[in-house]
Each structure stands twice: as structure tokens, then as C-alpha cells.
Chains A and B, each alone.
Chain A
């Protein structure tokens, strides 16, 4: 690492990026090898040693106390006291430090805001400020963009550039190629715990992807034109509240036809989750109707909806999709365990479950030591394949996939996408919800953009991404009906949605 350099660490899930950085941050002890800082070998016994050596880390999951204010979180672990033995916390000084650092690096944060009220992007900024108050020279960002909206990502990249200008070095861990190309000075690719190559940001996406997975991958989805049939899912005037009784879906009308993929795009938190959960019967429908092949299914229990031929890949696989303690085989029958041949009456049929698991593991290329291994021990991509395998292995009328490839490595993304397209081709109605615009554009035959609980536009997949980006930001061009017409007028200055290195400064 050089001072003032942004070094990207690129690799698939489970390639060892995070482990490496945890070693660097002193959380894990190396079995072999050594770490050199300014040419001197460094022995790190804990994160405090790392901080002492000028290394700071922003974890993928923020290490913040939700009920504390920004200032309190930043002084946490390095509390300044005054009043001698009485040891009053010096909150004022902490606040001053926060203000100082945030001004110096142009990182706006309110020291008195309570963390849990802040959006994720700002929370991340707090983490960065926290690291900077410890006077670090090297900042490790572990998958910082995984949870950010496109706008927040753009802001983060700006922050990174200004930190670089201030002479700080940054290690940027990610598996998103676009960001790497946009910001990195040097790229190291890791695969299965080994450095497999270094590249410059001029390398093409395909080259990087190939380096990452060790072979050539297709990033675009190959598919034939859709042949839409009868409407399968019809949603009219749907109104749904979220967990806090706040209106999340506010009068949505949707139709998904057999043999087509409807992509639902939108910045996360605009009601997509609630929309799907309402369709699945997981969330009460307050108004409106949901019908499946002409039959009203709103008010049905989830089990009945699933039984009616709906496959569902939930947004958050580790919360809603899998029981981590269960074996792969058990997870593969999680929603059909009581149907023949897996269950008869009250009895389970372990042989049938094992046999079908073996078949499914083969068919969906799930990399697991055995069908009896706990699902929690698999990598993210393989966990996701287990869910997709489970949902696609029964006859479906409708297949709903929410964030089907979030946190999934490139190789698995390719596979999951091809499975989704295959399901479409055999005549299933498919609905894909994703906050990755590329994914939606690649998969969908029609794209519905959700904003604040409404569908504010349905466009074709050939619509320029800038226009979809504008829709995602709630700016509805008058010319929704004729896509493309509004292009020239609004592109500049609007909040671009994706990872394009546009609009450096909007403020």
C-alpha cells in the first residue's frame, strides 16, 4: 500500500477478503506470514494494536450502538473524561472532535443525532469519522456499498476521493466491479484465499470478472424474447402497511403474465418488500385485491399461497429464507416437508428427503460437503442456490424472487439468472425485485419502477438506465408513454441511479 492510494480488494464471496482484513485489523491471528507497516513487521494482538499502528476499519456491519448519539458512538472505546476521579464523560470534547473531523474531510454528520434514526449511508459515514478521529493512515472499508443506495454509493465514492486527497490510504473490499473501476488505483483479485492477480482500473469488467471466478462469465443475461400469455398475477389497488403501521404500499396495480419477467426496480424501502410480502400472505392486505390465475388469494395464509403454485425467494435469505442450523437437505424441503413424498400424515420420510436433496444439489450445483451439512456453513451464493433449488423444484404458476443475487458471487449470479430465465421460458410468470438496476434491466421483459409505495412507471427493458434512475428517484418524466423522449432534458443534474461516475457534487 502506498500513501494516498485506493487499493481495491476484489473477490467472490468466501474468497477470503474479509478474513484477510480481519487479520490486518488484529481480530484474527495469522497462522503464517507477517504484516509489514512502513517496512517493519507488525504483531497485532487485537484491534487496539491495529488502531495504534494507524489502521482503521469500517466493518460491513456497523459497530455502532443504535441508541447512542453520533458523538457518543465516536468516543466509545476512547472515552475522554474530566473531573478527575469522578470521571465525567467529556461529551463536549467528543462533539468538538466530531465537528472538526467532519469539517476537515467534508463528511457532514450531526454529532447529536441518534444512530438508529440515521439512514444507513450516514451511519457508515459515522463509522468513517470514527476511524478518522483515531488518526488512522490506512482505512479498511469492508463491502461498504453492499447496503447503500446508488446515490449513497456515489456520495461514498466522493468521500473516498477526498480522503485520498488528504493522503489517507484506503483498502476497499468489494465484489462490485463497477465501483472498483470507478475509484480504485490498484486492484488485487483474491480467489480461494490466494492472490490471483493485480489489475489496473483500466481492465475491462469482463477481464476482472474472469479473474475473480477463474473463468469467463457472462454478465449480461442471454434470453430469447418473451412470449407473454395469460395474466397470472393481478394486483389491483393494493394498500399495505409496514411493521410500524406506516403506509408502505399505496395503491399498486400490477399484472404479471405467464412467460414474462416483470422486474420491479426501486431504491430499497419504497414498498417493494411489503408488496411481495402482501402477495405471499405474510402481511395483511388493507385494501385492494391480489389474484392468482383469476382466483382471489389476498387473505390466504402463506402456506396456501405457496401450495397454489407460487415460488418465493425472500429478500433476506438468512432471516426469511433458510434455517441455518438445518441441513441442506432439510432446507430443501422447508416448505414442502409435509407433502408426499417427503411426509405422509405425521411422519417424515427421511429417505425421500435425502434422495431428492442429492438430486437437487447436483442439478443446481450447490457446493456443499454433504447434504447433511448445516446450511449456515455454506457460502452466500450456495445458500441462495439452495433456496432457488427449493422453490423451482415444484410446478409453479408464479415465481417471485426478491434480491435473488444479493451478496452472491459472480459465478452463482450467472447460474441463478439462467434458472430464472429458464423458469420464464417454461411458461411461469416471474416477478423479480431487485435494487440492482443492472439485474432488473438484464432479466426483465417489463420494468415497473416503485417509488414511495406506488408504481410510478412501467417501461421496457430497452429504456435508458438514466431514465429508470430518474423514475427510481421519484421524478416521473411526462413522456413515460414514449420512453426515450425525455432523455436529453433531465439527465444532467438529476440523481443518477447507478454506478456511473457521474455528478461529483450535487449540493
Chain B
């Protein structure tokens, strides 16, 4: 019979070919990696150079830190161009730049330098307030005000950033931090004005209610992914809408809406459920930032030093190998989303239990969930990196307010700056090309940012 058919066993080959094709695909990437190896030792600098030289060399190599920093610089430069273009008075000086270039240069410099100076003064340190305090004309609060503002804005972003980063490490792209934060806001606020509890306990319950709300909203896409294979990106986006409109609906219901108001605003959270302010009543910074640092530490420990984190990272990097090694991938997916939800929910609690707002409004959660995605990317999905990134974003927000009122630069520019920073970070090759950085090993890691897809 084998005389008539050219391949006697071809009917059985199909499964083989598929399995083998997969094998091939992997072999090939493996090979590609192997193949690049011989090239790697070459660009290493001469080993005999001094420590300082080595430091500079490494700094200029395209490592994560340098690329991040340069992305910031690039964003600031592009931001400056945008400021100049959007200011008609400055722009008009460019019409006669050939005859009097100094006009254009001076006016541009004044505009840009003042704007960025205000950004700095509003977020980090204001020398005028400091000299006023030294000479006795002003209080110390004014000196700390910029930092206080920065920390206030940063706290919720730390949580949502951690939420996205944690999911990312587990191989899931949690676009739903916004929805989880909104449900967190709702639960925290309801607990804050509906439950008559003693101080201390009330706060604890309200914070935990926020976490629970986020956990529920994370659990849904998690279980759908694990059981039905539904893609978490789509489900979390949809759940964001559900959460947003649920909030809008809930606010105007009897028992929730503030009876003295006609607009969409709920009753205020009781004082006993509010996060204590850290530096007196005049400064907005509250205990949320301490919780945020604690959460960062907890997530870092969870990821790197716990068995659960090991499972999570294994599932994120290679679910097949994790499954073969006995790790339950479905259980891990659900846990990842629940943890991500808890973190985002805590971020939401911060928005209503802190000093940003004390009652529910349709926009009470602002954009913290979506900003969390940017924060996570900027922080390279590492917990402490997320904390730093959130501080940067908080500073941009805080400084942006001052920039708007003092320099007349619209607050949206800050959003543009944030977006630009992340774009440059997401395109490390671009930054490297612009600054002619030497290729470094870190470059390969960066591409993994896109792996969630």
C-alpha cells in the first residue's frame, strides 16, 4: 500500500506538524538569541578604566535609568516648543526673526523658563516662600506646600500604578484600574457616610471597603479570563464604562445624594472616616501617601520574596511552563486581578477619604486609573519605580496648577508632557537614536513592556 501513496503516514502528520511548528518558532528565537551573544562582549568598555569613567560609560549606555531621564528631557523640550507655538505674543516675534532674532529668543526663553520655574515652584520648592519664612513674613506651611501638593496627587497614582504593574508582571494588561478605582471610591464613600462607627475603626472599615470594591471589580475579568478565556483588556475596558455610569447613577439616588444640593454630589464622608492630615489642616498631604509607601513595599515583597509572587511571575513570563510545573494558571490569573483590583480600589479610597474630595461626584476618581497605566510604564513595572513615577506625575500635576495660574499655560500641557514622557519611554530606540546612546543589555528588557498584548 505504501507504493501508491507518496507519504504513507501523512494523515498522522498533521498534529506533528503543528507541534513541531511551535517548537520551531521557539527554536528560532532561541537561536536568534544565541546568535546575538557573540556580538555582546565586543562593546564592553576597556576593563582597566577608572571607576568614575566606568560610571559615566554606564550612565551613557542605554540603560533604563538613562533612557527614562532622557525621555523626560525630550518631553520638556517638546513641551517648550508647544508653549511657544500656543502663545500668540511670542509666536508673533518669529515673524521678524531674521531682522531681530533676539526678540524671538528672549521672549521664548522668558515664557518657557518662567513656565517651567513655576512648575518646579508649585511642586517641589518655592524659594520665595522660603525666604519669606526665613525673614519671618510667612509660615513654614508655605515652604512645604508644594511638596504637600505633590504627595497628595501622587498617593492615589502609586496605588493604581502598582495595580497595573502587578497585573503586568503576571502577564495581564489591567486597563481596568480606572473602573476598579471607581468602585473603590463608591464603596469607601458609602462606608464613610452610611456607617456610624467610632473614629479609627470607621477609617479602617472605609479603606477596606474601597479595597473590597476594587477586588470585586478585578475578580470579574479575572474569573472570566480564567474560566472562559475572555481577554482581560476588553473586559476591563467594558467594566470601566459600567463603573463610570454606575457612579453617575448612584450619586443622584435617595440616601446617597446630598439632600441640600440639587447637583450630582453625594453626602460627605464623616470626619471619622477621613485619612488624617500629616502636616496640619492647612496642608493637604494625608496619610494616604504613607499607605502608598507601605503598599509599594508590600507589592515588592509579594513579587520578589513570596511564593505567590514566584507563581505570578512564572505565569506572566511563561504560562505553559508554569502549568507544567504544577502552578495553577487559572487560579493565579484570578488572584492577580483581585490583587490589582485591591490596589486600584485603595487608590480610589484615597480620592474620597483623603483631602482631594470628601463626597462622590461623577469625576471624583479623576483619571487615576488611566494615569496609573502611564505610571506603571514609566516605573518600568517595578514597585519602587512605580513609586518614583507616581511622585513625578504628582509633581507635574501640582506644578501644573501653579503654572496655569502664574504663567497662563494651560493645565492640559501637563497632560501632554506626561503623554510625551511615556511615548519616549515606550520607544527606547527613538531616544537612543536621538542621543546616540550605546546599546546596552537593558534594551532587551524594555521591549517586554509590550508583552501584555
Assembly CA distance A307 to B10 (angstroms): 39
Is the C-beta of B17 less than 8 angstroms from some C-beta in chain A?
Answer: yes
* Residues of chain A with a CB closer than 8 A to B35's CB: 18-19, 22, 28
* Residues of chain A with a CB closer than 8 A to B29's CB: 318
* Residues of chain A with a CB closer than 8 A to B15's CB: 242, 244, 246, 248, 269
Q: Are B318 and A323 in contact (CB under 8 A)?
A: yes
From residue A371, how far is it (CB to closest CB) to chain B in Å?
Answer: 16
* Residues of chain B with a CB closer than 8 A to A161's CB: none
Is the C-beta of A14 less than 8 angstroms from some C-beta in chain B?
Answer: yes
Which of A316, A379, A451, A506 sits near B23, CB closer than 8 Å?
A316
Q: Are A320 and B324 in contact (CB under 8 A)?
A: yes
From residue A489, how far is it (CB to closest CB) to chain B in Å?
Answer: 15
* Residues of chain A with a CB closer than 8 A to B321's CB: 319-323, 334
Is the C-beta of B95 less than 8 angstroms from some C-beta in chain A?
Answer: no
CB-defined interface of B289-327 with A at 8 Å, one 1/0 digit per residue? 000000000000000111111110110011011111111
Q: Are B30 and A376 in contact (CB under 8 A)?
A: yes
From residue A416, how far is it (CB to closest CB) to chain B in Å?
Answer: 18
Which of A320, A346, A347 sits near B320, CB closer than 8 Å?
A320
Q: Are A316 and B26 in contact (CB under 8 A)?
A: yes
Q: Are A302 and B318 in contact (CB under 8 A)?
A: no
From residue B319, how far is it (CB to closest CB) to chain A in Å?
Answer: 10
Q: Are A318 and B38 in contact (CB under 8 A)?
A: no
Q: Are A506 and B16 in contact (CB under 8 A)?
A: no
* Residues of chain A with a CB closer than 8 A to B25's CB: 61
Is the C-beta of B450 less than 8 angstroms from some C-beta in chain A?
Answer: no
CB contact list, A460-482 vs B, under 8 A: 473-474
* Residues of chain A with a CB closer than 8 A to B26's CB: 316, 318-319
Assembly CA distance A206 to B317 (angstroms): 40
* Residues of chain A with a CB closer than 8 A to B37's CB: 377
From residue A273, how far is it (CB to closest CB) to chain B in Å?
Answer: 7
Q: Are A269 and B16 in contact (CB under 8 A)?
A: yes
CB-defined interface of B384-425 with A at 8 Å, one 1/0 digit per residue? 000000000000000000000000000000000000000000
Interface residues on A, range: 35 or more
Q: Are B8 and A376 in contact (CB under 8 A)?
A: no
Is the C-beta of A123 less than 8 angstroms from some C-beta in chain B?
Answer: yes
Is the C-beta of A118 less than 8 angstroms from some C-beta in chain B?
Answer: yes
Q: Are A269 and B2 in contact (CB under 8 A)?
A: no
Q: Are B6 and A18 in contact (CB under 8 A)?
A: no
The residue in chain A whose Cβ has the minimal distance to the Cβ of B31 is A18
Is the C-beta of B253 less than 8 angstroms from some C-beta in chain A?
Answer: no
Is the C-beta of A67 less than 8 angstroms from some C-beta in chain B?
Answer: no
* Residues of chain A with a CB closer than 8 A to B318's CB: 319, 322-325
Total A-B Cβ pairs within 8 A: 188
Is the C-beta of A328 less than 8 angstroms from some C-beta in chain B?
Answer: no
From residue A114, how far is it (CB to closest CB) to chain B in Å?
Answer: 13
Assembly CA distance A60 to B24 (angstroms): 7
Q: Are A119 and B22 in contact (CB under 8 A)?
A: no
Is the C-beta of B228 less than 8 angstroms from some C-beta in chain A?
Answer: no
Is the C-beta of B86 less than 8 angstroms from some C-beta in chain A?
Answer: no
Query: Which stretch, A40-48, A84-92, A144-152, A290-298, touches the partner chain B?
Result: A144-152
* Residues of chain A with a CB closer than 8 A to B324's CB: 280, 282, 302, 312, 314, 320-321
Q: Are B13 and A302 in contact (CB under 8 A)?
A: no
Q: Are B30 and A318 in contact (CB under 8 A)?
A: yes
CB-defined interface of A341-361 with B at 8 Å, one 1/0 digit per residue? 001011110100000000000
Q: Are B317 and A326 in contact (CB under 8 A)?
A: yes
* Residues of chain B with a CB closer than 8 A to A320's CB: 320-321, 323-324
> Which among B16, B39, B313, B320 has the highest number of chain A CB atoms within 10 Å?
B16
Q: Are B20 and A120 in contact (CB under 8 A)?
A: yes
Is the C-beta of A407 less than 8 angstroms from some C-beta in chain B?
Answer: yes
Assembly CA distance A229 to B219 (angstroms): 50
Q: Are B326 and A323 in contact (CB under 8 A)?
A: no
Assembly CA distance A140 to B23 (angstroms): 21
Q: Given known contacts A321-B321, A495-B2, is B310 in contact with A146 (CB within 8 Å)?
A: no
Which of B19, B31, B310 sits near A268, CB closer than 8 Å?
B19
Q: Given known contacts A18-B31, A346-B307, A346-B308, is B24 in contact with A301 (CB within 8 Å)?
A: no
* Residues of chain B with a CB closer than 8 A to A493's CB: 2-3
From residue A377, how far is it (CB to closest CB) to chain B in Å?
Answer: 7
The residue in chain A whose Cβ has the minimal distance to the Cβ of B310 is A337
Assembly CA distance A481 to B28 (angstroms): 43
From residue A409, how far is it (CB to closest CB) to chain B in Å?
Answer: 12
Name the 3 nearest CB pairs between A and B, nearest first.
Answer: A269-B16, A303-B326, A61-B28
Q: Can you list 26 A-B contacts with CB-CB less than 8 angstroms, sorted by A residue number?
A: A14-B34, A19-B34, A28-B35, A59-B28, A62-B24, A119-B7, A119-B17, A120-B17, A121-B7, A155-B7, A242-B15, A269-B19, A282-B323, A302-B323, A303-B326, A312-B324, A318-B30, A319-B23, A320-B320, A334-B321, A337-B307, A343-B307, A347-B306, A379-B34, A451-B12, A507-B6
